[in-house]
Amino acid sequence: MKLFIGIDVSSKDLQVAITDSENYQKPIINRSFSNDLIGANEVKKIILQLAEQNSYDKVIIGMEATSIYSFHTDDYFFANDQGLQKLNLETDVVNPRDTKRFHDTFGENKNDPLDAYYIAEYLRFGKYRVTIARQEQYLALQRLTRTRYDVMASLTRAKQHFIEALYYCLNKLVTVDKDGIKTSVFGATMMSIVTDSKTIDEIANMPIEDLIDHLQTKGFKKIAIASISGLIRTIYALIVND
């Protein structure tokens, strides 16, 4: 005989419905617990008590993949608890679309107690795929990869917004790469021209020698003097034209 635990997870609560192979017309237990260590421990005690009373061949715990809310409950409690590991335990995170389709076939209203019950029933029917336990290293790499993706996407949006704002003031400066000048608007030297306290008119009226010294300082003296002279002529033309 098997024990089935369906858990409907939210940010605050765990709605838990428990059935088994013989008692499935009505849940053995269907109640709410807090979504924290205290609530998870209460669920654990009930599972261990039922397992001791009925000597189940297998215990299956299932919950829907609900964003981050099922993360600690499944990955860091039920799947790794030493007391539960003494049982023939299986923990699964199921696709919400599959459980919804299963629930819809019975034509009942949708609420947390019913959702938890039909998750348990879905497990009893056995029409699910067993999920692979995710290791800590995998989870850490997953979070790192997603964080890097979000940071790069934010950086791309910020750069695009900056270029659009810059185009209103110095439209020619935005197109330097298209004009055959091998430099980036976001390079240290170019950014110094844009972000320094000097106005456009002040830069335009600076002596060439002072501007060369300024660009050499900002470019950490990595630019050849001949290249700077050509760049200055281009910058002057851009500023004067704007």
- 42-51, 95-104, 105-114, 115-124: which range is least confident on average? 105-114
Same domain, 112 and 224: no
Same domain, 124 and 198: no
- 4-18, 137-151, 154-168, 209-223: which range is least confident on average? 209-223
Same domain, 21 and 35: yes
pLDDT tens digits, one per residue of 168-203: 776 666 665 555 556 677 777 677 766 776 776 777
Same domain, 7 and 122: yes
- 107-116, 151-160, 213-222: which range is least confident on average? 213-222
For residues 66 and 73, give the distance between their C-alpha atoms in angstroms, rounded to a whole number: 11
Same domain, 176 and 163: no
> What is the predicted pLDDT for the residue at 46?
93
Same domain, 126 and 140: no
Percentage of the residues of the chain whose pLDDT score is greater than 90: 15
- Mean pLDDT of all residues in the chain? 78
Same domain, 113 and 194: no
User: What SS3 string covers the chain?
Assistant: CEEEEEEEECCCEEEEEEEECCCCCCCCEEEEEECCHHHHHHHHHHHHHHHHHHCCCEEEEEEECCCCCCHHHHHHHHCCCHHHHCCCEEEEEECHHHHHHHHHCCCCCCCHHHHHHHHHHHHHHCCCCCCCCCCHHHHHHHHHHHHHHHHHHHHHHHHHHHHHHHHHHCHHHHCCCCCCCCCCCCCHHHHHHHHCCCCHHHHHCCCHHHHHHHHHHHCCCCCCHHHHHHHHHHHHHHHHHC
pLDDT over threshold 90, residue 104: no
Percentage of the residues of the chain whose pLDDT score is greater than 70: 71
Same domain, 57 and 105: yes
Q: How many domains does the chain have?
A: 3
Of 79, 105, 132, the last residue of a domain is 132
Same domain, 23 and 125: yes
> What is the predicted pLDDT for the residue at 240?
54
Same domain, 158 and 118: no
Same domain, 90 and 206: no
Q: Which domain holds residue 160?
A: 135-168
- 93-97, 122-126, 198-202: which range is least confident on average? 198-202
Query: Taking Cα atoms as reference points, which of 142, 169, 190 lies closest to residue 241?
Result: 169
User: Binning pLDDT at 50, 70 and 90, where does residue 148 land?
Assistant: very high
User: Binning pLDDT at 50, 70 and 90, where does residue 133 land?
Assistant: low
- Of residues 117 and 187, more confidently modeled: 117
CB-side neighbour CA atoms (13 Å) of 241: 10
> What is the predicted pLDDT for the residue at 19?
92
